[in-house]
Each structure stands twice: as C-alpha cells, then as structure tokens.
C-alpha cells in the first residue's frame, strides 16, 4: 500500500526513522529502517538512509507491502463462557493469555482458543477483524483478567464496536495499587499516546495525545501500603488505567513497566502479574437492544493476595498494640 504525506511546517529536523516511528504507531523502528534501506520509504522520490534528516515541506512516500496472512490454528484452551447466543459470546478471560497473535505470541492466544471452540461447536465468528482478530470487538492486556464480549456475526461486531466508540459501554475494573490515594474518589484527566522515547509504553509524553478520562474510587485500604480501587474508564485508550494510576503516584501492583521493580513485591509478598481485573461489562444487545451486564469477581490469585495483605496489616496492628 502506497501512502504519501508532506512534513508540516514547524516540524523540527530529525532522523527519518525517528520521525516515522512516532508517526507510524504500529511499526517498529527496525522494520521502518529496513523499509528505508530497501527504498520503499523515500523523501522527495529519492532513496535515502534512515539517518536522513527530514524538514518541513519534504514529501515522504511509503510503499509498505501487505503482511502475509497468518494460517491460525485452533487450540484446545479452556474458555469460561458466561453467555452465548447466535450473535455473541461473553467470556471471562484469565490472566496470562494474550488476546490475539502478534510477534512473539503466534500460538496460545485467546484467538486460538476461540477458533477451536467454534470448530467444535459449529458456531460462527465475525470476520470484521480479519483472520488475525476474528470476533474481537475489544481487548484486554495479557496480564489483565476479566469479562470480554466476542462478536459471532459481522452485524453484531459493527453494532458493538459502535458502542465502544461512543463510550456507551459500562465498564468497571478493580485493581490493587501501590500506596493509598489521598482522595478517596476522583477523576483522572490525562491525554496520552505512544511514548515518544519508549515505544512499548504509553504516556503524556507523546506526539499524538488522545483525551483519556478515568474515574476512580478507593474501595479498601490495606494499611498505608496498598489500596483496592474501583475504576470506571470513560475512554478506552491502550494502557489507560495503568498510565493514569501511575500518574497519581499509585501504580498497579505487579506492573514494572509503569511502576518499576518496587511494585512487584509488598510486605515481602511477591506479586507475579499486573493486579488488574475487568469486573463488569455492560452493553446493549446488538439485535434485541436489551441491556446486558455481566460481572465476575476477582480471580483467585488476586483474592489470595488481598488475604495476605490483610494478614500483614493484622500483624502490624498486633505488634503496635
């Protein structure tokens, strides 16, 4: 696919690969460098090096070949189905499973599990997301557990996607965070996007910020070290909850990306994954228009950690008595 654009006025001189990596969010710097070296990315119709400096007025042409389609195979991975009809499927995703195939995770994903599930049941799945993301209306991070909806028809997919886009979906998350927020209830309004220096992270330090809003409520305190919070995202940006909580100074336990190594253990208790759970998901049924809402409690590892934290609090109280 060939695309062309002109570098806008006010753009500071920088390397072509650095400029593009901040603009093309779905492409790695190494892949962009390879395309430049192959002559598939040019400046003013001239073959250049990745280190070539761009300037306002430059015309950049990108000829990016379409990726070869994946031949995905179904895998017998257990699914906890909460509801299913001929239009959609609602499930409780466990932590530790990637939602869709990507470099480094071509197998063992939720998509592989869904393909096997529908092969066995004889059901259908929406084709709107393409071969790599069949039925996926939204996603959860690998470590995040919780309720997801899968579209079985193209009509259902488009209808549900529209609800997500219009932010009419009901979503409630719960998380265990480092420290206790000073305010028991608040609103975090912080525009975020892909970090301009660390591409695997999202932050306010970005060339393409998008409005992001999260409401939070402190539900339970474990002394002064940890809080259990309920989260009500009003927008759905990538890593939004993780970034917003870190911006408060209270990153999610088990999230070294945004909280550093310190959040991976508390009171000598190891935290093996990001303690974030999608508890509630509500939407209008794409055909009947009925209001549907599904809820699942926190998974066993999260409940176990809360019991251990409560035990540590009790021990401190006894020692102080």
141 is catalytic: yes
Residue 315 confidence (pLDDT): 77
Of 132 and 83, the structure prediction assigns the larger pLDDT to 83
Of 70 and 294, the structure prediction assigns the larger pLDDT to 294
**Mean pLDDT score, 9-21:** 89
Pick the CATH number of 72-166 from 3.40.50.300, 3.40.50.2300, 1.10.3720.10, 3.30.2350.10: 3.30.2350.10
Query: Is the distance from CB of 34 to CB of 27 less than 8 angstroms?
Result: no
Q: Give the lowest-confidence range in 72-81, 124-133, 142-151.
A: 124-133
Q: Which CATH class is domain 2-63?
A: alpha beta
Question: What integer best gives the mean pLDDT of the chain?
Answer: 91
307: pLDDT strictly greater than 70:
yes
CATH topology of domain 167-298: Pseudouridine synthase (3.30.2350)
Q: Which residue out of 141, 143, 195, 255 is catalytically annotated? A: 141
How large a percentage of the chain has pLDDT more than 70? 97
Give the start-to-end residue ranges of the domains of the chain: 2-63, 72-166, 167-298
Residue 65 confidence (pLDDT): 79
Check for a shared fold between 2-63 and 72-166. Answer: no
pTM exceeds 0.85, yes or no: no
112: pLDDT strictly greater than 90:
yes
- Give pLDDT tens digits for 37-65: 889 999 999 999 999 999 999 999 999 87
- Give pLDDT tens digits for 74-111: 899 999 999 999 999 999 999 999 998 876 777 899 99
157: pLDDT strictly greater than 60:
yes
The pLDDT confidence band at residue 179, using thresholds 50, 70 and 90, is very high
Residue 170 confidence (pLDDT): 97
In three-state form (DSSP H/G/I as H, E/B as E, the rest C), the secondary structure along the chain is CEEEEECCCCCCCEEHHHHHHHHCCCCCHHHHHHHHHCCCEEECCEECCCCCEECCCCEEEEECCCCCCCCCCCCCCCCEEEEECCCEEEEEECCCCCCCCECCECCCCHHHHHHHHHHHHCCCCCCCCCCCCCCECCCCCCCCEEEEEEECCHHHHHHHHHHHHCCCCEEEEEEEEECCCCCCEEEEECCEEEECCCCCCEECCECCCECCEEEEEEEEEECCCEEEEEEEECCCCCCHHHHHHHHCCCCECCCHHHHCHHHHEECCEECCCCCEEEEEEEEECCCCCCEEEEECCCCHHHHHHHHHHHHHHHHHHHHHC
Q: Judging by beta carbons within 10 Å of its beta carbon (0-12, 13-18, 19+), is residue 295 exposed, middle or buried?
A: middle
């Amino acid at each position: 696919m060939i695309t062309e654009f002109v570098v806008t006025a006010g753009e500071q001189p920088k390397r072509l690969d650095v400029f593009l990596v901040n603009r093309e969010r779905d492409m790695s710097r190494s892949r962009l460098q390879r395309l430049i070296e192959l002559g598939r990315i040019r400046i003013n119709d001239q073959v250049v090096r990745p280190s070539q400096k761009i300037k306002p007025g430059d015309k950049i042409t990108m000829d990016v070949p379409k990726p070869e389609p994946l031949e995905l195979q179904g895998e017998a991975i257990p699914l906890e189905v909460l509801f299913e009809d001929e239009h959609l499927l609602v499930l409780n995703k466990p932590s530790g499973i990637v939602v869709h195939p990507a470099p480094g995770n071509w197998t063992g994903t939720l998509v592989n599990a869904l393909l096997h599930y529908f092969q066995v049941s004889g059901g259908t799945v929406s084709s709107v997301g393409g071969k790599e993301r069949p039925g996926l209306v939204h996603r959860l991070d690998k470590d995040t557990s919780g309720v997801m909806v899968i579209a079985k028809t193209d009509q259902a997919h488009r209808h549900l996607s529209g609800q997500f886009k219009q932010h009419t979906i009901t979503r409630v998350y719960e998380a265990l965070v480092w420290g206790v927020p000073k305010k028991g209830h608040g609103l975090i309004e912080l525009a975020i996007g892909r970090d301009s220096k660390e591409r695997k992270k999202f932050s306010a330090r970005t060339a393409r910020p998008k409005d992001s809003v999260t409401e939070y409520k402190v539900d339970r305190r474990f002394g002064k070290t940890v809080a259990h919070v309920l989260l009500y995202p009003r927008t759905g940006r990538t890593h939004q909850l993780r970034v917003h909580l870190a911006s408060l100074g209270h990153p999610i336990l088990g999230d070294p990306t945004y909280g550093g190594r310190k959040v991976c253990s508390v009171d000598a208790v190891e935290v093996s994954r990001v303690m974030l759970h999608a508890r509630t998901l509500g939407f209008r049924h794409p055909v009947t228009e009925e209001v549907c809402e599904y809820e699942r409690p926190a998974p066993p590892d999260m409940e176990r950690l809360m019991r251990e934290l409560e035990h540590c609090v009790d021990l401190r109280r006894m020692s102080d008595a």
